[in-house]
Amino acid sequence: MTIAILIGYLIGGSLGLTATRSDKLARIWPKLVRAQILIASVVLATVAAWRLAGLDDVLWPILMVAVFAVMLLVSLATTKGEGRAGRAAMRTWATTTNTGFFVIPFAAAFGGSAAVLIAVLIDRFGAPLWAIYIALLRRDAPRPQRPSTSWIDQAPLIALGVGLLLRAVTTAPEWTSGLSLIAAPFMAATGAALFVGSVLHSSQRISPRPGIPAWAAFTFMRIALFAPIVFFAPTPAIALVAVLAGLSIPAFGPSQMSLVYGYSEPIVAASVRYSWFIGAIGLVAAYLMSH
């Protein structure tokens, strides 16, 4: 599985690099970003909520999501100037864990089905918080957004609701148990392609230097908040996922949605450039924990 995921990243990154050389693809890139959001939501969010077994499945993923909520509150309190709320949301998101395209695939690779369920739940129970990000970003977006696109941008939250409704009325079929594992290489490939294509888009080629102090401060805050979760985790799977969440590669969403909404924030550029070193440490730590 690890090799399949790494191949997915390689193929996706190559496709994203190729896409930056096409003016036609550059023009439709925001539509491709939204299409990927929709597909990922249907595949992961609905199934994860549908397969919830009980309260114990929920508590630790929600605690991890609370880390990101604390970061957003701090960002809202410290961001100043025009479009404050939207820029605060982007600053938080830029230093938030990459749950969909890092934690989930490598939880699957190192921890199997037990770890991947926790990772998917973090990603999915983060949907209400991501919805707040999106609402703030859309409200203050430099590029005005059509109201009709809102339901696509909020697809993760909608899919979570559908999954919870399905759980309330019926038991998830057996075929759903391995869907997240099967989807991991595909998610890695599509996520890498859209991330690379967005980062290298002409509108996002800005200097990361002004954003380094804020990136470092918020990244340190994230790691510090996840440390006690790793220490007190009741199972190895939860501890493994918490390590991957605390020591993460850059989130792909900020670069993609910066392109869609017209933002150009140095902290996003700093995260794109420097968070890979944090993620490398996370992979080494997760590998050692699983072996």
pLDDT digits (tens, 9 = 90+) for 47-66: 666 666 555 557 888 999 99
Between these two residues, 126 and 226, which has the higher pLDDT value? 226
pLDDT for the residue numbered 260: 79
* Separation of CA 224 from chain center: 19
Interior CA angle at 122 toward 98 and 187, to 5°? 50
The mean per-residue pLDDT over the stretch 73-82 comes to 92
Residue 159 pLDDT more than 90? no
What's the average model confidence in pLDDT over 126-152? Answer: 80
Residues 6+ apart with CB under 8 A from 59: none
Burial of 3 (0-12, 13-18, 19+ CB in 10 A): exposed
Q: Which of 180, 229, 274 is nearest to 65 (CA)?
A: 229
Q: How far apart are CA 72 and CA 219, in angstroms?
A: 12
CATH of domain 2-290: 1.20.1530
Could you tell me which residues come within 8 angstroms of residue 198 by beta carbon, excluding any fewer than 6 positions away?
16, 29, 33, 204, 252, 255, 256, 258, 259
Rg (CA), the chain: 18
pLDDT of 94: 94
